[in-house]
């Protein structure tokens, strides 16, 4: 029998054919072989409690039997058509029913693509060019989105800092950057610039929550200045609540983008708005000069739509979000209790459904506040958790509905050991 490749062998093979040895997403030093429920296994057979969950979409866990059944039912009927299909139409109906700002939706294949089209749609609708985004806000890989995502240099606002090579200066000229949670800064920029098409914001920026009244303040400023408000709900949609951040915070944007959960683990995303705004996708209605061209080979893919529909049906069941928040609350408490008892300064930042720890005693109000006083503490903490079978990113922890009491017990033991390692490092 041929010996199976080890993880080290897979890493070496990846380094030969992939830039930097990876897909550009996560630590290329680990190769995941499979996932089941709340757990994943690497190519060496090491088992982990999974709090990465594919960067968010696997809210029900891996291989949920009802989602698999829906996918297996669709597969023999066809995997993709580049044409309308019933599952895609049903998913659009379910999104419109759930999300306050959506009267119509348009499907794409990724969240970054949805954000790119949302920006373009705002420009088409308003006839203006400038876009205001917040420092540290993540909106995919378009040229506009790659402005001041994680700037190394702290320049004066509203100057943008490109995070990638290959972006023309002309893009930077159309971008304004503001600090998150600062309404006065936004108001000053809108008063100075009368050519802003839209403000794009994560209503929960990465893991930084909006201060009370902030999102409503953005809504009010946009209304006053004739600017569209875009909520990037790729992460928060169907996670913070069934109706997303719009339901959770009670503020309705003009346009929103959705992804991750609506595809049930398959590549699918969407943008939605009122019928009046979305008419720019209909050439027969707006004419050639105002038409926003959009097409994609896998847009509205029926397999992804079937998985998303079943995922959303399960999330509608009584108690789903209460349970998700209870799991997240336990995960927050076990870490905060252990760090507090050890005398280690920290902040739990985020929502019960999505959060992480900053090793600082500062409030986390914006990108510049949300930093570790000692990045080495965070690196050691996350490394110890990984060694002890806890799989998460360096900056986020995603609870899922698949997490069990046994998972929580294992996580708590790992947290206590990781905190002890921090204590030893400090002494």
* Residues known to be catalytic: 138, 232, 260
Residue 234 CA: distances (Å) to CA of 111, 122, 153, 259: 6, 17, 27, 5
What's phi and psi for 31, nearest 5 deg? Answer: -120, 115
395: Cβ contacts below 8 Å, ≥ 6 apart: 206, 207, 356
Distance, CA of 177 to CA of 130 (rounded, Å): 11
Q: What DSSP designation does 208 have?
A: B
Q: What sections of 242-357 are H helices per DSSP?
A: 244-249, 275-278, 283-286, 302-315, 320-341
3 state DSSP class of 324: helix
Token pair 């009244």 is found at 213
β 269-273/255-258 pair status: antiparallel
Q: For residue 340, what are its two tokens?
A: 């507090």
SS3 375: helix
Burial 292-315 (b: 16+ CB within 10 A, else e): bebebebbbbbbbbbbbbbbbebb
The Cα 191–Cα 13 span in angstroms is 54
Q: Where are the beta strands (DSSP E) in 56-164?
A: 104-108, 130-134
Structure-token pair, residue 310: 């079943």
What the block records as the tokens of 294 is 């959009």
Distance CA 263, CA 269 (A): 7
Closest CA to 331 of 414, 237, 260: 414
């Amino acid at each position: 029998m041929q010996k199976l490749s080890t993880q080290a062998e897979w890493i070496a093979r990846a380094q030969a054919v992939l830039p930097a040895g990876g897909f550009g997403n996560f630590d290329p030093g680990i190769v995941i072989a499979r996932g089941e429920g709340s757990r994943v296994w690497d190519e060496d057979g090491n088992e982990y409690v999974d709090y990465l969950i594919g960067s968010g979409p696997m809210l029900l866990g891996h291989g949920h039997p009802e989602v698999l059944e829906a996918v297996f039912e669709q597969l023999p009927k066809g995997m993709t058509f580049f044409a309308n299909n019933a599952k895609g139409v049903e998913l659009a109906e379910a999104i419109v029913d759930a999300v306050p700002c959506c009267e119509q939706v348009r499907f794409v294949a990724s969240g970054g693509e949805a954000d790119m089209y949302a920006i373009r749609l705002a420009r088409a609708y308003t006839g203006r060019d400038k876009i205001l985004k917040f420092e540290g806000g993540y909106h995919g890989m378009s040229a506009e989105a790659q402005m001041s995502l994680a700037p190394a240099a702290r320049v004066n606002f509203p100057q943008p800092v490109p995070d990638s090579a290959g972006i023309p200066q002309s893009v930077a000229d159309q971008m304004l950057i503001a600090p998150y949670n600062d309404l006065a800064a936004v108001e000053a920029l809108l008063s100075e610039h009368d050519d802003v098409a839209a403000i794009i914001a994560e209503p929960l920026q990465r893991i930084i929550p909006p201060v009370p009244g902030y999102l409503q303040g953005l809504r009010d400023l946009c209304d006053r200045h004739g600017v569209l408000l875009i909520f990037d709900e790729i992460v928060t949609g169907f996670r913070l609540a069934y109706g997303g951040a719009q339901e959770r915070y009670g503020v309705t944007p003009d346009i929103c983008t959705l992804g991750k959960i609506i595809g049930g683990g398959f590549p699918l995303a969407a943008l939605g708005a009122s019928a009046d705004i979305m008419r720019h996708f209909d050439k027969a209605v707006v004419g050639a000069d105002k038409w926003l061209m959009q097409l994609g080979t896998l847009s509205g893919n029926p397999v992804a739509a079937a998985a998303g529909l079943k995922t959303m049906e399960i999330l509608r069941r009584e108690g789903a979000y209460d349970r998700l928040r209870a799991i997240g609350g336990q995960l927050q408490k076990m870490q905060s209790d252990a760090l507090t008892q050890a005398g280690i300064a920290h902040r739990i930042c985020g929502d019960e459904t999505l959060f992480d720890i900053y090793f600082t005693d500062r409030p986390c109000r914006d990108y510049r506040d949300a930093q570790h006083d000692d990045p080495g503490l965070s690196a050691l903490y996350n490394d110890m958790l990984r060694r002890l079978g806890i799989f998460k990113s360096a900056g986020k922890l995603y609870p899922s509905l698949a997490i069990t009491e046994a998972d929580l017990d294992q996580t708590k033991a790992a947290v206590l050991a990781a905190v002890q390692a921090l204590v030893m490092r400090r002494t």
